[in-house]
Structure formats: C-alpha cells, structure tokens
Structure 1
C-alpha cells in the first residue's frame, strides 16, 4: 500500500474549509474546488497534503507540495498559493504547528548541535520549502491522523506523535531550515526574532533601523538577511502582514474597511484601499460583497 493510501485510509470526513482537530496545534483542511493563486500567510509549521496538491509562489520561484512532498515553514511567511482540488478528488491535508521549545529539545536529544553550528556556515536558508515525504514520515503522519479520530487517543498519544513528526522532519531535506531556526544567536534567529515583533506589533510605527539595532545588526546586513529568508524587504513584509490582518478583521469581525485600516496601522484609508486591491486582486468592498454572497 502506498504512503498516500495509508494516509487516506485514516483521513476523517470533513466539511470544506479548515477544521481544528482534537489536539491543539493540529488542523485539518479540505477544498473541493480549485482555488486561484492568492496571497496567504503560514505560521511556523509542517503542512502535509494527503490528496490533491498546492503550488506556492515566493520571490519569483514556485514550489509544489502534495502527497509526496510536505512543506516546512520555519518563520511566519506571506506568500502566494494556488490550490488544486475537485469534488471528485478534494484537496485533503493537515497543518501541524512547530513548537520552538520542542524543536530545541529534540535537537539537543538527537545530538545535532554540530549541525546547528554548520548551519551558519552554509548561509541563510529560505524560510519555507518542500521536503520529500519518505516512508517513516508517512507512517508517523498516518498514525497521528488515526489517533486524532479519538478524543482519548488524541489526548494521550497525539503529543508524542506530533513530536515524532518533528523528529522525522529533522531528518528530512528541510532540516537545515529547522536547524537555523534553533540557533539562539545566528543571523536566521535574529531575523526570526524581528519577524515575531512585526507579527505582534504590526499596527505600530516600526522603524526598520531600530529593529536592526535591536538584534545587533547593521541596517544593510539586516536588510540583506531579511530578504534572503523571506524574499521581501522589511517594509514589504510589514505591508503584507498589515493587509492580511485587515482582511481577517473585515471577514471575521465584519468591520468596515476604514476601521480595519486604522487598526492595522494605516493612516490613509485611500492608500489602504489601493494597496489592498493591488495585493488581493479586489477592493475591500468587492471582497466584502463576495463574502456576504457566499
């Protein structure tokens, strides 16, 4: 039986969309139709597509994640994604959040400190990328999915199975990204620290030079490293975060565009509307009308 068949054997029946599993930090997703290329944001995690596939676009490059390739995201990453699914063959998958404390404990237990040191010598990895789904990872994922079908198994066995999935990822082709994330004082870790600040304080007036100084980097080195990891400049990244947060506010809290703009740090509603349409391909009003009609 193929690894894909093993995963599908235990995959739960889902409604279309995203559904929380019984285990915190693990979510299922399903799409019964293709979704055109559009911006989205992934937090640090492992995305496993059991059926169908997705194509990500970042910095002029494309990467595919599907039943043979899972996706590792080490820092919060805005990128564009196209989804391929149909009523007959829906896209099915799950997303597992990465806990930094658990990651560090595994790296220590596996004796990978030497690899952490080499990570700095290899240069900065991109903060997101696919890795081949080998038999060991497929087996761990299948057992996790099966356990999530039971509240008791999810509670008692789930945390250990999530830990095993992360263990397997540390042996995969995206391991250098995870090694870099675990470095306490390296350049990748410093940029990751700034990304967390930007995610938490996106509505504030963030001074890029002060952010660079905060992690003891020169502005030029910080800009260069930031773009290597995210494919965006700090200003571009912050703009994407603000627009994404504003979109969430309008869709989930149903607040008006000018209020969302103010809450995410825009001083000009007209500038917000222009940049929103440029990024999402539709104006705030068009998006709101579409959401109400759905």
Structure 2
C-alpha cells in the first residue's frame, strides 16, 4: 500500500460519501460498495482517487480516474459516475475545489500563455478530463493529506499545499482547460461565465438568445461552443442542472416534489415529473418512496 493510502486510512471516515477535512475547499470521500452509473453535477475541482477507481461518463466519452490518473473539472458538469468498490477494496480519495483567483494568479506567474498558444489544436477543450498522476503531483498531494491530520498544520501549511497541487495541475495535460477557464479573452471562458450564470440563476426563465447575449456571441456560435465544452446543448444543460438541484432538495431537505419543482423553475409539476423520470429513471414519487424505505 502506498504512503498516501496509509495516511488516508488514518482519517475517521465512518460513513460512505464525502467527509469534510480541516481545510475549507478540501474534502475526503470513501465508498465501500459498488455504485452503478449515477447522475450528478461535478463542481470545478481536482478529483484525486488514492485507492480503487471511478469512471466518469460525459455523453459517449468516459474518463477513468484512479491512483495513476486524477480528474480535472473546470466548469460545473452534469455527468454520470460509476464507483468500483467493495468492503475489502474500498475507494478512497479527496476533492480539491478550484479557486479561480488563485488559478489566475498562478497562470500570471508561469509562462503558460506562450506554451499553450503554440499548440496546433484550435478546438475548444472539454470542461473535464483526466491527467497523469506524476511524481510531483503525488508528492504534493501526500504532503497535503499529511498536514490535514493537524489543525495547526492545516491552517498554516494547508493553503500553500493546495496552491502547489493547483500548480502541479497547471503543469499537467489539463493545463489548457485550466488556462482557458481563468482567462477572460477566449471562447471557453465566455462559455464558462454562462455556465456560472446558469448555476446561480437556474430557476429563472432563461433562453438561448439571452445566454448567447451574456456570452457576447451569436446564437449559432454560442450553441456550437457550448456543446464543444459540455457535450450538451444549452437547454439540455439547464434541464439537467434543474433536475439535479430538485433531486438534491428532495433528498437533502425532504422537500415535496411539487415544491422542489417550483424552486428550480418548473411551472408544470406534470412536466417536471415526466422529465425527472426520463432523466433519473424513476419518478419523484418513486424516489420519495425509496427514501422512506431506507
């Protein structure tokens, strides 16, 4: 077993799922049972699996992340994930939120602009992708996990070590995605700003023309760029965000389905129920029944 895997075992993660760490913006996760493909929204983050493996699905693409590969998510992405775990071989790891201000400051200090600008591929990068867990990234991550065992070290060393992990990610294969996210001038960042707007205003009446205007792009150019980054059309993306938010309200706050539907912007409960079942494979009523049975 690797040193970092041994360190993770020393943290008291009694239940499956995420667990907070001593540092804001960093949390651990553990799973001890196999989880079939499940829909969720990945937030901008660096997802590091130390033990076991997961697979993230985006349309027809899939990304494996494990002890040898971490996942970089630069914008909020509705995706599916599958977790390959058992009590004997649990999945353990950590997620580090991406701080855009810190990312921008790091980019300003290293010569990424020239290096990325010389690339031959002019297509927009996906908003998510795997990168190789090289020796430098593993070393930085190990030191970060170690410092999180102490309140004092987490406060003093933690922010610097998170910054180092972000720097190592900027040295990896997903550097173009992170660079594009942080810069204001290119098409990716224009789409990223719209994605952020949708995350904040998903309950409002939004249409493609309005979103394209926010991105300062024509409707056709915006639609094309949006799909390159997310693999969804703008309205498909908005629907997935609304449905996922509604399910979160129902599961986490025990909110009734019609109230959750209204809270995320649905005017018709019947339309909400149809689209919910089409997306999640079960109706809101079936979800509530399942929750009461557990």
Q: Could you say whether these structures have the same fold, taking a TM-score greater than 0.5 normalized by the shorter chain as the test?
A: yes
CA apart distance, 1:111: 2.6
1:8 aligns with 5
Deviation at 1:274, TM superposition (A): 1.1
Residue 30 of structure 2 contacts residue 92 of structure 2 at CA under 8 Å; is this kept in 1?
yes
Q: Are positions 1:91 and 2:88 aligned together?
A: no
Q: Which runs of 4+ in 1 moved over 6 A?
A: none
Aligned partner of residue 177 in structure 1, secondary structure: helix
- How many residues matched? 291
List gaps (5 residues or longer) in structure 2: none
Structure-1 residue corresponding to 2:27: 27
Q: Which residue is equivalent to 1:130? A: 130
Equivalent in the alignment of 1:70: 70
Distance apart, 1:45 and its partner CA: 0.6
Whether the aligned pair in 1 keeps the contact of 2:40 and 2:79 (CA below 8 Å) is yes
In the alignment, is residue 237 of structure 1 matched against residue 237 of structure 2? yes
3-state SS, counterpart of residue 194 of structure 1? helix
> Secondary structure of 1:227's partner?
helix
Q: Is the 8 A contact 2:207 2:235 kept in 1?
A: no
Equivalent residue, structure 2, for 1:166 = 166
How well do the aligned residues superpose, as a CA RMSD in angstroms? Answer: 1.4
**Structure 1 pair 6/20, CA: closer, same or farther in 2 (3 Å)?**
same
Q: Following TM superposition, by how much is the alpha carbon of 1:288 offset from its aligned partner in structure 2, in angstroms? A: 1.7
TM-score of the aligned structures, taking structure 2 as reference length: 0.96
> Deviation of residue 119 (structure 1)?
6.8
Q: Which of 225-234 and 174-183 deviates more? A: 174-183
Report if the CA contact (8 A) 2:46-2:72 is conserved: yes
- TM value normalised by structure 1: 0.96
Alpha-carbon distance between aligned partners in 2 of 1:13 and 1:72, rounded to the nearest angstrom: 26
* 1:146 aligned residue: 146
Report if the CA contact (8 A) 1:116-1:180 is conserved: no
SS at match of 1:122: coil
1:37-75 CA distances to partner (integer Å, 9 max, x unpaired)? 011111111000011111111121111111110000000
Extract unaligned runs of 5+ from structure 1. none
1:199 maps to 199
